[in-house]
Structure 1
């Protein structure tokens, strides 16, 4: 016997039109999101849907029987505004009018793009931006690992440290060969030497025995990654400046200090070059404590963290990219039968 349905029982949605079915699915979805609303909340939502226009939010289905997802937008805006294809379109590339003075000679992975930086000149104050240069992203745009910086900085501080602290044991002290008093009969504690560590003026039991070396080594890849992270951090903090060369019109130190102050280089500057230094830059920095010149082969993490601004020449950038990127492919699965430094650039 078939039980008749109650008047308030929900009827199937097959007799409804597509628009009515979509509206019903929208209300069901809203009730599923807010199950605590109850009958009072359902009535409020029905009044809200009735008050909105047909093109509004309430009449846009969130999900239909064809598994197509709708978008909730403004009631007066057409659906083409929120088209997925329009969202996936790439923005047009910004073309700069400044010339690119240097491009990366080492191939860049397809999923990466070169990083650009301004190129300055030291010939006069106004030559602040003379062009652009491309920087390799695997050197100047790596993940900023602060733990790697800390590890490399502590290693660089301690690997050449030697402690010369030294103490004498009771055997190395002068005197103390005679027993101070008899073993028994005096009523005092028994002792065999006045140079015992228990005595004032005696030897040291477990003191330092220098010289002590604190040398240790960290992996080469960690050292290389420390240099990359330091260069990336300097560039991200706008403390990395690239110059075309170190040619200066004068050897006056005041000119270099005024130039650094005019271009906001900070309190301390580290200038790095791979070529022979010009005479003017050597004479200008000879007596300065806040501006230091360093060869590219001696660039290290400690120096980059010590100075506020890092100044590199174009030749130095190419030198660092060539040396640091060589380590990325240094170790292979099938190690060649040759010395590891035979292909060093």
Structure 2
């Protein structure tokens, strides 16, 4: 399919042919849900486990009389109330170990890209090149593109340095290189903006 290419000033810059195998896949909610769930599970950090009563290296010998000592009954020094004793109901290490087939992950990314094309939320720009890193200048240019509240900009190998600096203070605008393109971020934003280089990198990523 063909899509028009623009500049940051919303000036026409020709057309680009998008690969239907990457940008023309019919989205499936179940696939997208599996990939997003896998991504979010990978972000989860596990707690550092505490040593509980059975993990503490202290004597298990009964250190006092059962009765007649004038104190509570205790069987060993590993009890949580003693200094050096085991933690009562402490945090435990949980390994979620999420796994997802590579083919399903690749299919999910294709579907996320295709969903933006289907909803007409994909914009292709020639480049993100800016002569100076000025937020005010960039904001005036982006106003002509008709972006939504949240927009994701994806460049080629690396994001233009001036563009990255100028966009750093803009709320709802995020920037990634092509290698960082992922299903969760694409679906989370109202508009996806790609450069010609990003389109080439994404297509090469699947064809390679």
Report 1:43-82 matches (<5 A).
none
Is it true that 1:258 corresponds to 2:140 in the alignment?
Answer: yes
**Partner in structure 2 of residue 116 of structure 1:** 2
Q: Which residue of 2 aligns with 1:141?
A: 24
TM-score normalised by structure 1 residue count: 0.50
1:162 aligns with 2:48: no
Aligned residue for 1:159, secondary structure, equals: helix
| Corresponding position: 1:269 with 2:151 | yes
Q: Deviations over 1:219-258 (max 9, x none)?
A: 1100100100110111122221101111235431122223
Aligned residues: 204
Cα distance, 1:190–1:251 mapped onto 2, change above 3 Å = closer
CA contact (8 A) 2:62 2:74 kept: no
Does the CA-based 8 Å contact 1:160-1:214 persist in structure 2? no
Query: C-alpha deviations, 1:244-278, integer Å up to 9, x for none?
Result: 11123543112222333332211222211114443
- Considering Cα pairs closer than 8 Å and 6+ residues apart, tell me whether 1 or 2 has the greater RCO: 2
- State TM-score, norm by structure 2: 0.79
Counterpart contact for 1:227–1:300, Cα < 8 Å: yes
Cα distance between partner residues in 1 of 2:147 and 2:45: 35
Asked whether the 8 Å contact 2:121–2:192 carries over to 1, the reply is yes
Structure 2 SS opposite 1:138 = helix
The match for 2:104 among 222, 225, 231 is: 222
Residue in structure 2 matched with residue 280 of structure 1 by the alignment: 162
Distance 1:260 1:177 in 2: 74
Distance 2:150 2:31 in 1: 24
- Deviations 1:269-290 (CA, angstroms, capped at 9, x unpaired): 2211114443431331244343
Change (3 A) 1:190 1:286: closer
Please give the alpha-carbon distance, in whole angstroms, between the structure 2 residues aligned to 1:223 and 1:195.
48
Aligned-partner Cα distance in 2 for 1:190–1:178: 9
User: 1:265 and 1:200 mapped to 2: Cα distance?
Assistant: 62
Alpha-carbon deviation of 1:151?
1.0
Asked if residue 246 in structure 1 is aligned to residue 128 in structure 2, the reply is yes
Q: Displacement, 1:148?
A: 1.2
Deviations 1:178-209 (A, max 9, x none): 456527x99xx986247558x89985677543
Task: Tell me, in whole angstroms, the C-alpha distance in 2 between the residues paired with 1:163 and 1:270.
Answer: 29
Cα distance between partner residues in 1 of 2:14 and 2:42: 41
Output the CA distance in 1 between the equivalents of 2:3 and 2:82.
67
SS in 2 for 1:117: strand
| Displacement after TM superposition at 1:170 (Å) | 1.7
2:158 and 2:75 map into 1 onto residues whose CA distance is: 69
Structure with greater Cα Rg: 1
RMSD: 3.2
| CA apart distance, 1:310 | 1.2
Instruction: Find the residue that maps to 1:247 and give its secondary structure.
Output: coil
